[in-house]
Structure 1
Amino acid sequence: MDFEDNELYRDITGFAHDTPTWVQHAAEAWTEGGLLLFGALFVAAWWRARRGSATAFAIAVLAPVATAVAYVCSELLKSGFTEERPCRAVAGAVPSLAECPPTGDWSFPSNHATIAGAAAVALALVRRTIIWLTAPLALLMAFSRVFVGVHYPHDVAAGLLLGAVVAAVAMRLGRRPVTRLAGAMRASSAPLVRWVTGPGAATAPTAPWTAHRGR
């Protein structure tokens, strides 16, 4: 492992141990609880899109799907790189604040950072202005994984990039077929299907990739 990356890991984890106890507890809670917040944002985006165009609804539905695809890609990469966790591999580092995952739960790339990066980009494609919320949340999620001692800095940097790229590609590829599917589902006679997809926009649908912008 790169010496400078090890040193940065030691610096961050050493700083973490010098912070107040409440900061350490907050970081430990956020490193997992942040995923729930992104989940809540996905639900809010879906609910709002139920009254939008079929394209807007499709993009909102694709957001969590694209994030899941990014997570799968991260898991596949982990099995290929098999990098040991820094909380076990870096000599001279302080103990991790979070429990060090067992051997076999590999470090590169960070799943949490991948999910955060993917969710930040996917939600921004649903509603452009939300990037001012999701980007800082994703960066904070990534940093917290190093702060609590379970990832190297390069793990979270790679995870953020992987998540962002996979989410953007997945949503671009899936937009048209899911839009057609959403239109078909809204014409369904099944009450549950119509409830899930919502009534749609009261006005004529806007052009693709514009229905979700600037709202």
Structure 2
Amino acid sequence: MSTPLADTTNPDLGLLYAVNGLARRSPAWLDHAVSWIGEYGILLGLALLGLTGWLRARRRPDAPVAVAGLLWAPLAVAIAEVANLPISAIVDRPRPFVDHAGLDVLVEGKEGTYSFVSDHSTMSMGIAVALFLVNRRLGWIAGGLALLQGFCRMYMGVHYPTDVIGGFALATAVVLLLAPIAMAVLVPFCHAVGRTALAPLIRAPQGGGRRSGGRRRGGGPRGSVRADEQPPESDLAA
């Protein structure tokens, strides 16, 4: 079947056809790989980044604040997804392949669901922004994965570019606007948990460094850096 010409006067549709056209010209194995990455792989990668951030946050001087920031990430995503329910119903935008022929749709089961905003893009950028507030290095990596997520959703033919941008904007707004309120609750909560038997979830147990390696003038064991000398990384620290 011949592919109809895209409406080049519409940047949103034109970019979708351009990106999705790559799928039509790519080998089947690459399409399958992009589909898996865009549907599951990036979210799994973001989860691993979150786990890495938690392991690092537990070792920081401001551990309760850093862990609270990481806890805000999944909560912010959940709030953004709930906020998207009325937004998607009001906009009532069908998937692009419903109204436009010639798209190469790489994933099934999307018929009858809303296109705006992209849930996957919302989740990815929500994790990225929240993670960036706690650990900038991991946040930049997560941000790159979020951008890749948006590309994959267009490549798969299931979202317009504006669906992706809308998801990014919604997630960023929720994370940043509600962060002060969330942290006002989560930081005391993490401090409280740190005084219970669940304290290792908040702060990494201190090893017996004083008994190994001897003592040095002016501090602890050789090669160690005192916790109170480590600069905090979190932008959420009060």
Q: Does 1:171 align with 2:179?
A: yes
> Any unmatched runs of 5+ in structure 2?
1-6, 207-225
Q: By how many angstroms is 1:114 displaced?
A: 0.8
**Contact 2:49/2:138 (<8 A) preserved:** no
| TM-superposition CA deviations, 1:74-102 (whole Å, max 9, x none) | 23311221110012121x32331122512
**Contact 1:85/1:100 (<8 A) preserved:** no
Q: Percent identity?
A: 29
Equivalent residue in structure 2 for 1:14, among 21, 32, 35: 21
Find the aligned partners of 1:168 and 1:206 in 2 and give their Cα distance.
Answer: 26
Q: By how many angstroms is 1:199 displaced?
A: 4.5
Q: Does 1:80 align with 2:95?
A: no
Q: Does 1:107 align with 2:115?
A: yes
Letter in 2 for 1:38: L
Find the aligned partners of 1:24 and 1:55 in 2 and give their Cα distance.
Answer: 42
Equivalent residue in structure 1 for 2:37, among 30, 43, 65: 30
Equivalent residue in structure 2 for 1:198, among 196, 203, 206: 203
Letter in 2 for 1:144: C
Cα distance change, pair 100–13 in 1 and its aligned pair in 2 (3 A): farther
Q: By how many angstroms is 1:142 displaced?
A: 0.6
Equivalent residue in structure 1 for 2:234, among 206, 209, 212: 212
Letter in 2 for 1:157: I
Find the aligned partners of 1:161 and 1:22 in 2 and give their Cα distance.
Answer: 32
Q: By how many angstroms is 1:211 displaced?
A: 4.3
Letter in 2 for 1:113: S
Aligned to 1:94: 103
**Structure (1/2) with the larger helix percentage:** 1
Find the aligned partners of 2:194 and 2:116 in 1 and give their Cα distance.
Answer: 42
After TM superposition, the score normalised by the length of structure 2 is 0.77
Find the aligned partners of 1:69 and 1:94 in 2 and give their Cα distance.
Answer: 32
**Contact 1:84/1:106 (<8 A) preserved:** yes
Find the aligned partners of 1:44 and 1:121 in 2 and give their Cα distance.
Answer: 15
Please, what is the CA RMSD of the aligned residues?
Answer: 2.5
Aligned length: 206
After TM superposition, the score normalised by the length of structure 1 is 0.85
Alignment partner of 1:122: what SS? helix
| TM-superposition CA deviations, 1:173-194 (whole Å, max 9, x none) | 2112211111111112xx2x22
Aligned to 1:47: 55
Aligned to 2:188: 180
Find the aligned partners of 1:186 and 1:60 in 2 and give their Cα distance.
Answer: 15
Q: Does 1:158 align with 2:166?
A: yes
Aligned to 1:60: 70
Cα distance change, pair 37–76 in 1 and its aligned pair in 2 (3 A): farther
